[in-house]
Structure 1
Amino acid sequence: MKAFQHDYDIRDDGVIGVDTLSILNVRPGDHARSIAVAMERLRWLTREPPATRIDVNTAAAELSYFRDGELVDQRNVVVGKPGKETPQISTSMFRLVANPTWTVPKSIQRGELAGKSAAYFRRNNMSWRNGWIVQGPGPRNSLGLVKFDLQNSLAIYLHDTPAKTLFDKHQRQLSHGCVRVSDALGFAQMLAEQQGIADQWSRARASGKIAYVRFPEAIPVRLLYRTVYVSQANQVTYRTDPYGWNVAVAEALGFGKDAGKQFRSDVDDIGP
């Protein structure tokens, strides 16, 4: 039972709870439907992906880094929660930001920081700047100690986080849309060394201030939503449909309106 739960990325405690029971009740036709949806999503992508790239599967909350066609790194990430979903986009990572500041979006200012005391703002190194709440750099910053800038108009990026314990959760759709990377400093160091900018990156980090280090070669990044895929062990792997996005695709393919298994977070977290 624990192996079964692990395969579906739910808590592998051996107990048949609500989540496990819902998966056990999945019919063979449901699997066929999920596979058809996954194959349709593959058709939306370029036939040959870049040999060097970063793929983030938001359904599995997992990052895979390929270099020259080989998988060289894989790690847990935290992605957008239902209602604040991480979008499906193809973009590129073009620089590292050391000791980033965080300009809090207006929606978070209104919805989650309204009414917070002055002591809360001091404790979290936050101040008002031209009508915006800005959190200064440091280990308590919601972006952590490194940000990975992506080319896009949606203000989506990868970053570090002080909330390390969330990476241990099985369901990691918990953020406001951006992608938090496990051991982000280690990942940044690896990329900096491969790009030949390790010395620049070390100086930027040591400055204690916000600093930008551009990549000589941008790295393609794909933010994907894959609830069925083939693992590195060549096994068909199923995940839940945390955003409920499979429903519309399945209907367009002529399947019924049965909703997939979704996830609702009970974690209160104000980070991006």
Structure 2
Amino acid sequence: MISNALPQRRAIHRATIFATLMGALFLTGPIAPATAQSKNDMAGQAKVSAFAQAVAEAAARDTEIAAFYRDNGYQPIWTGSQPQDLARRAALLRALSGAADHGLPDFNTTELNTRLRNVASLRDLGRAEVELSKLFLSYAQGVNSGVLTPSKVDSGIVRKVPRQDGAALLAGFVSSDPTRFLKALPPKSPEYARLMKEKLRLDHQIAHGGWGAPVPASSLKPGQAGASVVALRNRLIRMGYLSRSASQSYDATIQKAVQQFQEDHGLTNDGVAGPGTMDEINTTPEARLASIIVALERERWTNMERGKRHIWVNLTDFTAKIVDGGRVTFTTRSVIGKNIHDQRSPEFSDVMEFMVINPTWNVPRSIATKEYLPMLKRNPNAVSHLKLIDSRGRVVNRSAVNFNAFSAKSFPFAIKQPPSSRNALGLVKFMFPNKYNIYLHDTPSKSLFGREVRAFSHGCIRLSDPFDFAYALLARQTSDPEGTFHKVLNTGRETRVDLEQPVPVHLVYRTAVAPAKGRMNYRRDVYGRDARIWEALQNAGVAFGHADG
């Protein structure tokens, strides 16, 4: 938040002593030829040149700001004395004072205030002009598309952020009502508004003691009693899961509250506060607040048109959803990439174009050489369900191959698995062609969908209900989606089925989700990405700002 807001305003108003002269200069008409200029005209031109040169020099290292001032003839937009200049400064200060509500860095303007207080020349004023533009862009771009560059924080976040050009932002601001322009910058998604509301609520709660003491037990179950159960009861009350109660035993009411807590945190909702559940119950409100602030940043990264119909895959929630007009119309469980190097599922957005029924699995070379080649060296008949293919596309007779003669680099064959119910991709895959070779698909390994944490794949997203997912997609282009799907499936042949209306796909990673109804939902940081984002945000100046009212 802005500290000492009143001195800041006074400092900027002091600058208008110099800006008054600047405003008069820029209201003058064309300058006459030098031979006809009066001394006053020449003095005015010199002052304009001094200001313009100072602006050009101060903006030289920022190509976007430099381009804006070059296009507007180096005229002031902040430090002039006209009503619109005063309105822009006031609007910016108001926006900066609420920056912490968005989980943005503290825009400490102390240095700028000092510079404005010490303005002694038009060159000083020109430099202050550029500093205000830099401050504006830092806020505007931060609140609109995020403070961080995702790929610099984690290589698995390959998302393209819709960042607005700085020169265009400044030009748009100058030609608009400043207050309305700044209010229109944050994401308009309902999720963003709900996260901000929850952030303020949690700020307030932390300022008033948070959720109390943690529960001093590694696990508790129904029927138990004692001090630890009382601590559990009290913490659930502070979290909003229980009404006030004097119960000292783990009764049905507490069990029901624990079940709701488990539901909201992606846990098996058996009503038993086992080690996993207890870890989540004892997570501090500060840690939850950090998750919300990270979620706000992530929401800014996806501040784009997501598609009236789109597919939303939240990696931390292990689900894939179809969303129509803002309403979830289909949900299925998913399995995501293992939490090891080069197998974590990346985050990005693309467009699903088609599905392949009865797919062939073209084994990625990394899997072929790292996993299957060692097996073939030990036993040439290993993984017999897979076929070796040479460079001409011919099936290779394994008995004629000395696998021990090859290394991972020199292995000359491709490996494929023909269509079948045993195929690693199952009986259907859903394609949104991308350079990461990620797609959604069926799997014969159905038992994994019963796990609480489902990170087992090599990076692609496995679906628990792929047929139903296919029916939901095909329903937009056929009156009999199930019949259409099975007619192709029953051929046993690999077949591509195009989607007449391609569907945007968003692979996201949200550990804090604010549903339209009910309490906040939290999920585990399975890849540790949110921890890295939070650290980067803190390094950028983001901090907790607890409400005290």
- Give TM-score, length-normalised by structure 2: 0.44
Secondary structure at 2:507's aligned position in 1? strand
Give, in whole Å, the separation in 1 of the partners of 2:387 and 2:359.
15
Give, in whole Å, the separation in 1 of the partners of 2:274 and 2:329.
36
| Shift of residue 20, structure 1, vs aligned partner | 2.5
Q: Report which of the two has the higher share of helix.
A: 2
| Shift of residue 13, structure 1, vs aligned partner | 4.2
Deviations 1:183-235 (A, max 9, x none): 10121122123223847644432220111111111100000001001235343
The answer to whether structure 1 residue 224 and structure 2 residue 508 are counterparts is yes
Identity of aligned residues (%): 35
Given residue 447 of structure 2, which amino acid in structure 1 is its aligned partner?
T
The answer to whether structure 1 residue 29 and structure 2 residue 311 are counterparts is no
Secondary structure at 1:243's aligned position in 2? coil
Q: 1:214 aligns with which of 498, 501, 507?
A: 498
Aligned residue in 2 for 1:129: 389
Aligned residue in 1 for 2:334: 77
| Shift of residue 41, structure 1, vs aligned partner | 0.3
Q: How does 1:35-54 map to 2 (within 5 A)?
A: 35-54=292-311
Residues 234 and 24 from structure 1, CA distance in 2 versus in 1: closer, same or farther, beyond 3 angstroms?
A: closer
The answer to whether structure 1 residue 238 and structure 2 residue 522 are counterparts is yes
Q: 1:115 aligns with which of 375, 379, 400?
A: 375
Deviations 1:50-76 (A, max 9, x none): 111000000111111012333211111
Give, in whole Å, the separation in 2 of the partners of 1:255 and 1:241.
20
Residues 95 and 48 from structure 1, CA distance in 2 versus in 1: closer, same or farther, beyond 3 angstroms?
A: closer
The answer to whether structure 1 residue 165 and structure 2 residue 447 are counterparts is yes
The answer to whether structure 1 residue 149 and structure 2 residue 411 are counterparts is no
| Shift of residue 18, structure 1, vs aligned partner | 3.5
Aligned residue in 1 for 2:361: 102
| Shift of residue 109, structure 1, vs aligned partner | 2.2
Deviations 1:123-152 (A, max 9, x none): xx2110121111110000010000101121
The answer to whether structure 1 residue 10 and structure 2 residue 270 are counterparts is no
Give, in whole Å, the separation in 1 of the partners of 2:298 and 2:313.
14
Residues 95 and 16 from structure 1, CA distance in 2 versus in 1: closer, same or farther, beyond 3 angstroms?
A: same
Given residue 249 of structure 1, which amino acid in structure 2 is its aligned partner?
I
Aligned residue in 2 for 1:189: 471
Given residue 137 of structure 1, which amino acid in structure 2 is its aligned partner?
P
Which structure ranks higher in relative contact order (CA pairs < 8 Å, sequence separation ≥ 6)? Answer: 1
Moved more, 144-153 or 183-192: 183-192
Secondary structure at 1:55's aligned position in 2? strand
- Superposition RMSD in Å: 2.1
Give, in whole Å, the separation in 2 of the partners of 1:157 and 1:85.
13
Contact 1:55 1:223 in 2 (8 A): yes
Residues 12 and 200 from structure 1, CA distance in 2 versus in 1: closer, same or farther, beyond 3 angstroms?
A: closer
Given residue 171 of structure 1, which amino acid in structure 2 is its aligned partner?
V
Give, in whole Å, the separation in 2 of the partners of 1:219 and 1:4.
34
The answer to whether structure 1 residue 61 and structure 2 residue 345 are counterparts is no
- Computing the radius of gyration over CA atoms, which structure comes out larger, 1 or 2? 2
Residues 12 and 71 from structure 1, CA distance in 2 versus in 1: closer, same or farther, beyond 3 angstroms?
A: closer
Residues 15 and 202 from structure 1, CA distance in 2 versus in 1: closer, same or farther, beyond 3 angstroms?
A: closer
**Uncovered stretches (5+) of structure 2, i.e. residues with no partner:** 1-257, 391-412, 541-549
Residues 166 and 21 from structure 1, CA distance in 2 versus in 1: closer, same or farther, beyond 3 angstroms?
A: same
- Give TM-score, length-normalised by structure 1: 0.86
| Shift of residue 111, structure 1, vs aligned partner | 3.1
Q: Report which of the two has the higher share of strand.
A: 1
Equivalenced residues, count: 254
